[in-house]
Amino acid sequence: MIEVVIAGAGPNGLMLACELALAGVRPVVLERLTEPTDTQRANGLVGQVIRMLDRRGLYERLATPGTTPRPAPRFTFGAFPLDLSELPDNPLYTLLVPQLRIERMLIERAAELGVDIRRGHEVIGLTQGEKSVTVELRERAPIEAEFLVGADGGRSTVRKLTGIDFPGVTSDDSVSRTGHVSVPAHLIGPDGSLTVPGFGAIPPFQHLRTEHGLIAWAPSPDGDPKLTTVEWGQPPEGEASLDELRASARRVLGTDVPLGPPTGPGPHLMRRLYGGNTRIAERYRAGRVVLLGDAAHVHSAIGGPGLNLGLQDAVNLGWKLAAEVRGHAAEGLLDTYESERHPAARRVAMHTQAQSLLIQPGGEVTALRELFGELLDQPATRRHIARLLAGADIAYDMGPATGPLVGHWAPDLPGLRDLTRTARPLLLDPTAALDPGPWSPHVDTVPAPGLDTALLLRPDCYIAWQGTTNDGLHEALATWFRAA
């Protein structure tokens, strides 16, 4: 019997497969599509997940060789420019890399780890038993597994088959248009901004609001740039086209934008989306079926939080599900996946809904923006927003363990990025006297002479205990692992 079946070979499903493989579980990934998609989607990564990828040795596969993550000096929130350059502990990291490249990297990494990816396998049914779940496939023999993970997107078949409700709100009054374009080279500034005659500069990778809508300009270092507009009350008909995008940009800015067709090799995007959904699954688990990523939550794409949220879900779930399969999980461990990640999804839903309101046209919104802009002048507010966008404001309940660092994500300690590549729990011990006792097989104890306190790190790099003696250590270990 297969240990874990993952439905969906998108970034979240692939990341989970890699995490499971690092923990000694060999999952099978089922993908409905026969070939990897070439549809352009996200433009990059935002938030804490960038440092998490670095701690797994994956950042260097996406970025310039020899570089390490650096916080972004600027970002945007609700079409407000967000200056983070003076924050002493800026938590917001960004990485400009197309989602297609992220998926290719994760496919390669999964292959290195021996993950079995089966394309052309569409899930159409499932039956749960006491110790397994049977997955029914279209025109293929059923598969039996100990667990099934639905990583099959916002319209998740697995979620629907399991009967998990997906409550939330749907808005249908906005129209978003995005397309690859070309513009005259002399209109692009040294900083990547686009100068529109009769209007002025549109900064790169930011949302620019006017009283008529929203526009965003995204130059690409290795392909055609993209232009996005968002309007309200402009329902179009027919297929999305470059002429439609031009007309929308003119309405938003009040002047013509010299847009031409893309000139690169493609694939090229021309897309129109109506409204949006903000929904969070009523529960993340039903028996031996677990939901992951967009199958568990959908929200506005504003600010680019989707991959940060979904990939962090995968890192949280991976070691817990592996421990359950391998038989060394503490009682109730798998249930902490939902109790820890559901609040994270609620935070993303909250701030994307807030941003979606702040970008709308109208005098009342303009008044709200005036007040919000005053608040953003305060460094404490900018830091709060940066932590919110990064997902760094989430602290988990670690049971009986106490201390100022407990429950928080581990800071970038010296040597940590090399120690965390194996996804093993770590006991960083500056005392050289701590004893994990019967939990030793589950934890790597590492000398850490530069630390003032010992730290117990879970595989997802959250701190589960701190101290200078064995006091409380065994209790913390028992919270997360079954003693050998």
Per-residue pLDDT reduced to its tens digit, 53-69: 999 999 999 998 888 99
Q: What is the pTM of this model?
A: 0.94
Cβ-Cβ contacts under 8 Å for 127 (sequence gap 6 or more): 133, 134, 136
Instruction: Tell me what pLDDT residue 414 has.
Output: 87
For β-strands 226-232 and 213-218, DSSP reports them as antiparallel
User: Is 403 part of any domain?
Assistant: no
On the question of pLDDT at 466 being above 90, the answer is yes
Residues 248, 310 share a domain: no
Structure confidence at residue 265 (pLDDT):
86
Query: Which token pair is 161?
Result: 């088959």
pLDDT computed for residue 3 by the predictor: 98
Domain boundary among 277, 296, 328: 277
Tokens of 484: 């050998």
Residues in the chain: 484
In Å, how far are 203, 231, 239, 258, 360 from 214, measured between CA atoms?
13, 7, 21, 17, 8
Mean pLDDT of 146-163: 98
Q: What is the C-alpha separation between 407 and 148, in angstroms, rounded?
A: 28
pLDDT at 220 (0 to 100): 82
The SS3 call for residue 125 is strand
> How many Å from the N-terminal Cα to the C-terminal Cα in the chain?
25
Q: Is the pLDDT of residue 98 over 90?
A: no
Strand, helix or coil for residue 164: coil
Q: Which of 161, 122, 162 is nearest to 142 (CA)?
A: 122
**Judgement on whether residues 319 and 460 belong to the same structural domain of the protein:** no
C-beta of residue 277 within 8 angstroms of C-beta of residue 168: yes
267 cis-preceded (ω within 30 degrees of 0):
yes
CA-to-CA distance for 248 and 263, rounded, in angstroms?
A: 21
Query: Within its chain, how far is the Cα of 301 from the centroid?
Result: 11
What lies within 8 Å, CB to CB, of 7 at 6+ separation is 13, 30, 123, 135, 148, 149, 150, 151, 152, 157, 158
Q: Is the pLDDT of residue 20 over 70?
A: yes
| In a shared domain, residues 152 and 137 | yes
CA atoms of 431 and 434, how far apart (whole Å): 7
Domain of 206, CATH number, reads 3.30.70.2450
**Residue 459 phi, psi dihedral angles, 5° rounding:** -60, -25
For the chain, percent of residues with pLDDT exceeding 70:
100
> Which of the two residues, 98 and 421, has the higher pLDDT score?
421
pLDDT at 484: 78
Which residue in this structure is represented by tokens 């496919």?
107
- Look at residue 396 and tell me if it is in a domain: no
The residue whose two tokens read 């993970």 is: 149
CA angle, corner 78, sides to 373 and 218, nearest 5?
120
> Would you place residue 194 in the very low, low, confident or very high pLDDT band (cuts 50, 70, 90)?
very high
Residue 219 and residue 139 in one domain: no
Other CB atoms within a 10 A radius of the CB of residue 129 amount to 10
Give the count of domains, the chain.
3
**Residue 401 domain-assigned (yes or no):** no
Cβ(436)–Cβ(473) below 8 Å: yes
From the list 272, 44, 301, 269, the residue with the least C-alpha distance to 179 is 269
Q: What is the pLDDT of residue 290?
A: 98
Q: How far apart are CA 374 and CA 41, in angstroms?
A: 34
* Domain-embedded: residue 462: yes
Burial class (CB in 10 A: 0-12, 13-18, 19+), 265: exposed
> Which residue range(s) make up the domain with 91?
2-166+281-390
- 120 with 184, same domain? no
The domain that holds 93 is classified in CATH as 3.50.50.60
Asked if the model's pLDDT at residue 221 lies above 90, the reply is no
Q: Are residue 130 and residue 195 in the same domain, yes or no?
A: no
11 and 152 inside one domain: yes
Q: What is the chain's mean pLDDT, rounded?
A: 94
454: domain CATH number?
Answer: 3.40.30.120
pLDDT of residue 348: 98
Mean pLDDT of 77-103: 94
The backbone torsions φ and ψ at residue 39, rounded to the nearest 5 degrees and listed phi first, read: -70, 130
Number of helical (H) and strand (E) elements in the chain, helices listed first: 11, 24
Phi–psi pair at 113, nearest 5 degrees: -90, 5
Four-residue CA torsion sign, 18, 23, 28, 31: negative
Q: Residue 92's Cα: distance from chain center in Å?
A: 13
Closest of 430, 70, 127, 426 to residue 289, by C-alpha: 127
Give me the pLDDT at residue 476, please: 96
Q: Which of 277, 293, 319 is the last residue before a domain boundary? A: 277
The reply to whether 149 and 180 lie within a common domain is no
Among the three residues 232, 254, 277, which one is the final residue of a domain in this structure?
277
Judge if 12 and 97 occupy the same domain: yes
In the DSSP assignment, the letter for residue 18 is: H
Q: Looking at the predicted structure, is the pLDDT value of residue 399 above 70? A: yes
Do 130 and 214 lie in a common domain?
A: no
Element (H, E) at 51: helix 49-55
DSSP-derived secondary structure letter, 438: G
3-state class (DSSP) for residue 47? coil
**Is 307 within a domain?**
yes
- Evaluate whether residue 352 is within a structural domain: yes
346-382 tens-digit pLDDT:
999 999 999 999 999 999 999 999 999 999 999 999 9
Per-residue pLDDT, 40: 66
Q: What's residue 341's pLDDT?
A: 98
**Does 99 reside within a domain?**
yes
The residues near 368 (Cβ < 8 Å, ≥ 6 apart) are 357, 358
Q: What are phi and psi of 473, to 5 degrees?
A: -65, -50
Cα–Cα dist 336/320, whole Å: 9
Q: Are residues 293 and 374 in the same domain?
A: yes
What is the SS3 string spanning 373-394? HHHHCCHHHHHHHHHHHHCCCC
pLDDT-based confidence at residue 233 (cuts at 50, 70, 90): confident
- d(CA 44, CA 47) in angstroms, rounded, equals 10
Residues 241 and 307 both lie in one domain: no
User: Given this model, what pLDDT does residue 161 score?
Assistant: 98
398 in a structural domain: no
Contact 348, 297 (CB under 8 A): yes
pLDDT digits (tens, 9 = 90+) for 319-328: 999 999 999 9
